[in-house]
Structure 1
Amino acid sequence: MSIETGSKYDGKVTGITHFGAFVELPGGKTGLVHISEVADSYVKDIKDHLSVGDTVTVKVVKIQDDGKIALSIKKAADKPPGEKGRERPETSRQSDEQSQSTFEDKMSRFLKDSEDRLSTLKKQTESKRGGRSTKR
């Protein structure tokens, strides 16, 4: 059986390392699922998601010239229509007007915030050290 890029296969996990899992594909070939391709969320320990002997559905991401096969479990999962990849949720600080502001506006806001923080830090540090604000 010929392994093709973009195809999905069922495979068996044959080995686990700190950087990913080795999966045996049909035809006896083995590929690697990198730890970043195991799940949509952050994976700290791959052993929490996979174990040796598990059967998983993988998608062939890339076949290198030297024969190494890169696989992905998260790309093989069927997502509901309308759901895109990992998107960051809108935070309360990010509004439409802020996202449409110019670079100069963002830079001046950053400089003002930075100066405020620096002056607050200096005041706190000087009072602890007995700086200018203390009586002698």
Structure 2
Amino acid sequence: MQLDSGAVAEGRITRVTDFGAFIQFENGETGLVHISQIAHSFVRNIHDHVHEGDTIEVKVLGRDERGRLDLSIKELLEEPEEIPRPRAIGRQSPQFEAKLRSFMRDAKERGPGSIGATKKGSTGGKRKK
């Protein structure tokens, strides 16, 4: 079995991590499907898509500078008309928003460079000898 760029091959998932899935082929070679190459949509949890022990078909994207196989599952999937975007994060709590507004207002009143600045001529609490 020749695993050149563009080849489609079947392999078994030997390990699933937060960043991708490792695939082993019949010839003993192992490659990585990065989490970004799992699906066309945003993958929040890779375990929702692949499982250790599954046999899957992947496309060989190429090899990195160390000769490791870069693989893709999504290259074999039909691309949806519109790629779903990740759900927006909700607003912060009203208390947090009020504290942030208060902080920004106070910082603006103090003027630029006032945070952490010392008075001119100050030695920052150290005495000159």
- TM-score of Structure 1 vs Structure 2, range by shorter chain: 0.5 to 0.7
Counterpart in 2 of 1:41? 41
Q: How much identity, in percent, do the aligned residues show?
A: 42
TM-score normalized by the length of structure 2 = 0.59
Deviation at 1:53, TM superposition (A): 0.3
CA distance in 2, matches of 1:8, 1:59: 4
Distance 1:64 1:40 in 2: 22
Relative to structure 1, is the Cα distance of residues 26 and 87 closer, same or farther in structure 2, using a 3 angstrom cutoff? same
Note the residue ranges of structure 2 that are not aligned, 5 or more in a row. Answer: 85-104, 106-129
Contact 2:18–2:45 (8 Å) recurs in 1:
yes
Whether 2:31 is the aligned partner of 1:31: answer yes
The structure with more helix, counted as a fraction of residues? 1
Quote how far apart the aligned CAs of 1:85 are. 6.0
1:51 maps to 2:55: no
Whether the 8 Å contact between 2:40 and 2:83 is mirrored in structure 1 is no
Q: Is the 8 A contact 2:31 2:71 kept in 1?
A: yes
- Is the CA contact 1:23–1:31 (under 8 Å) kept in the aligned structure 2? yes
- 1:6 is matched with 6
TM (norm. structure 1) is 0.56
- Residues in 1 aligned to 2:81 and 2:52: alpha-carbon distance in whole angstroms: 28
Q: 1:68 to 1:86 in 2, by over 3 A?
A: farther
The within-5 A match list for 1:1-136 is 1-77=1-77, 79=78, 87=82
8 Å CA contact 1:36–1:43 kept in 2: the answer is yes
Structure 1 unaligned residues grouped into runs of 5+: 90-124, 126-136
Q: How many pairs align? A: 85
